[in-house]
Amino acid sequence: MLLGIQFENPNNIDITDPVPDEFYSYFQDVAKQNTLIYEEVFATIPTDRTRTFAQVTAYNDMAKMKDMDPIKAYMRMHKFGSFLNHVFIFIFIKTQQKLKDIQGFVVEYSLYFLNEENYLPSMISPE
């Protein structure tokens, strides 16, 4: 279930024993693919892409695929015939296709989120 292969196992991976390298590499591949999809569509945090607070702010400000409104874009397209609205609809369709590629629930754990930040108190703080 975690890997999305409860009923269908297209790669014929033996899931009864999680120790073999074949299962582990498949598990890692699925987790990596799911993580990339979630980051691209939803801009999830924590992520290894943000290692400082400044990067978190920039990451939160970037456009997310999930925020594209296809209905408004479609209505504007028929009203004005704008090329930009075709792009929004294309992004929506692409987003739907990406979400269908998610397998199960497993994602990678972010190991480097904010790892370049200094969490120690300053020398003059009373702590």
Hey, what are 49's tokens?
A: 């892409």
pTM summary value: 0.67
**Range list of β-strands (E), the chain:** none
| Residue 117 located in a structural domain | no
| Residue 34 located in a structural domain | yes
Closest CA to 92 of 64, 66, 60: 66
d(CA 30, CA 2): 10
Burial of 8 (0-12, 13-18, 19+ CB in 10 A): exposed
Range of 40's domain? 21-100
| Residue 38 located in a structural domain | yes
| Residue 10 located in a structural domain | no
What's the structural domain count of the chain?
Answer: 1
Give the single-character DSSP code of 3.
Answer: T
Could you report the per-residue pLDDT of 10-62, keeping only the tens digit for each?
A: 666 666 676 778 878 888 998 999 999 888 888 888 999 899 999 999 888 87
